[in-house]
Structure 1
Amino acid sequence: MNESFEPAWPNIAVMTASAAERFADRTAIVDGAERTSYAELYAEARRFGAALVAAGVEPRDRVGIWAPNGRDWIVALLGLYQAGATLVPVNTRFKGQEAADILRRAKVKVLVTVTEFLGNDYVAMLTGSGASLPDLRTIVIARGEQSDPGETWAGFMARGTDDGLAEVDRRRAALGPDDPSDVLFTSGTTGTPKGVLMTHRRAMGVGADWVAMAGLTADDRYVLVNPFFHMFGFKGGILACVAAGAAMLPQPVLDVDRVLGQVAEEGVTVLPGPPALYHSILEHADRDRYDLTSLRVAVTGAADIPVELIRRVREELPFSMIVAGYGLTEAGTATSTSPDDDPETIATTVGRPRPGFEIRIADAAGADVAPGEVGEIVLRGPTTMVGYLDDPAATEAVLSADGWLRTGDLGRLDESGCLRIAGRSKDMFIVGGFNAYPAEIEAMLLEHPGVRQVAVIGVPDERLGQVGMAFVVPRSPALDGAGVIAWCRERMANYKVPRFVELIDELPLTESGKVRKNALEARAAGRPG
Structure 2
Amino acid sequence: MLRDNAKIFPDREAIVFLSTTGERTFIKYQELYDQAKFFAKGLLETGIKRNDVVAISNKNCVKWVISSLGVQMTERGRISIITLPLISPDDIAAIFLTSGSTGIPKAVPQTHLSLVRNLHVIGTGGSPVESSCTSAAGVIANKVVVMYGTTEFGLASAIQVSNPKEFEDYAIGYPTPGVELKIVDDDGNIVPKGTSGELYFRSRDRFHGYLNNKEKSALCSDKAGWYKTDDIGVMRENGIFIVKGRKSDMMIIGGLLVTHLYVENIIKKHPNVIDAYVYPVHDDKMFQRVYAAVVVQPEGALSDEAIRNYIVQQQSGNLDSFLEKLYIPEHFFFYKELPHTRNGKLDQKATALMIKSTKESKSN
Q: Equivalences for 1:160-199 in 2 at 5 Å?
A: 165-166=79-80, 169=83, 172-199=84-111
How many angstroms does 1:76 deviate by? Answer: 0.5
Q: 1:489 aligns with which of 282, 299, 312?
A: 312
Query: Which stretches in structure 1 are left out of the alignment for 5+ residues?
Result: 1-14, 86-162, 215-298
The 4+ residue runs of structure 1 with deviation greater than 4 A are: 29-35, 311-315
Does the CA contact (< 8 Å) of 2:146 and 2:161 recur in 1? Answer: no
1:523 partner amino acid: M
Identify the residue that residue 352 of structure 2 maps to in structure 1: 521
Cα distance in 1 between the residues matched to 2:270 and 2:165: 20
Cα distance change, pair 428–55 in 1 and its aligned pair in 2 (3 A): same
Identify the residue that residue 21 of structure 1 maps to in structure 2: 7
Cα distance change, pair 442–415 in 1 and its aligned pair in 2 (3 A): farther
Cα distance in 2 between the residues matched to 1:448 and 1:34: 37
Higher helix share: 1
Q: Does 1:335 align with 2:321?
A: no
How many angstroms does 1:191 deviate by? Answer: 3.2
**Helix, strand or coil for the counterpart of 1:393?**
helix
Cα distance in 1 between the residues matched to 2:135 and 2:268: 12
**Helix, strand or coil for the counterpart of 1:300?**
coil
Identify the residue that residue 136 of structure 1 maps to in structure 2: none
Q: 2:61 aligns with which of 61, 70, 87?
A: 70
Identify the residue that residue 304 of structure 1 maps to in structure 2: 128
Q: 1:404 aligns with which of 226, 233, 237?
A: 226
| Aligned residue pair count | 346
2:340 partner amino acid: L
Q: Equivalences for 1:117-266 in 2 at 5 Å?
A: 165-166=79-80, 169=83, 172-208=84-120, 210=121, 214=122
- Structure with the bigger RCO (C-alpha within 8 Å, sep 6+) is 1
Q: Does 1:345 align with 2:331?
A: no
Identify the residue that residue 20 of structure 2 maps to in structure 1: none
Task: Give the TM-score taking structure 1 as reference length.
Answer: 0.61
Cα distance in 2 between the residues matched to 1:35 and 1:336: 27
Does the CA contact (< 8 Å) of 1:451 and 1:474 recur in 2? Answer: yes
Cα distance in 2 between the residues matched to 1:324 and 1:30: 21
**Helix, strand or coil for the counterpart of 1:387?**
coil
How many angstroms does 1:391 deviate by? Answer: 2.6
Does the CA contact (< 8 Å) of 2:161 and 2:167 recur in 1? Answer: no
Q: 1:53 aligns with which of 44, 49, 61?
A: 44
Cα distance in 1 between the residues matched to 2:262 and 2:196: 11
How many angstroms does 1:167 deviate by? Answer: 6.0
Cα distance in 1 between the residues matched to 2:25 and 2:312: 55
Percent of aligned pairs with the same amino acid: 28
Cα distance change, pair 516–456 in 1 and its aligned pair in 2 (3 A): same
Per-residue displacement from partner, 1:349-407 (whole Å, max 9, x unpaired)?
12122222221112232222343232211111244322222333322221222220001
Identify the residue that residue 236 of structure 2 maps to in structure 1: 414
Cα distance in 2 between the residues matched to 1:520 and 1:35: 37
Does the CA contact (< 8 Å) of 1:461 and 1:467 recur in 2? Answer: yes
Identify the residue that residue 464 of structure 1 maps to in structure 2: 286
Does the CA contact (< 8 Å) of 2:107 and 2:211 recur in 1? Answer: yes
Cα distance change, pair 325–495 in 1 and its aligned pair in 2 (3 A): farther
Per-residue displacement from partner, 1:127-166 (whole Å, max 9, x unpaired)?
xxxxxxxxxxxxxxxxxxxxxxxxxxxxxxxxxxxx9742
Give the CA RMSD over aligned residues: 2.5
Cα distance change, pair 35–498 in 1 and its aligned pair in 2 (3 A): closer
**Helix, strand or coil for the counterpart of 2:201?**
strand
1:426 partner amino acid: S
Cα distance in 2 between the residues matched to 1:18 and 1:404: 34
Cα distance in 1 between the residues matched to 2:233 and 2:220: 17
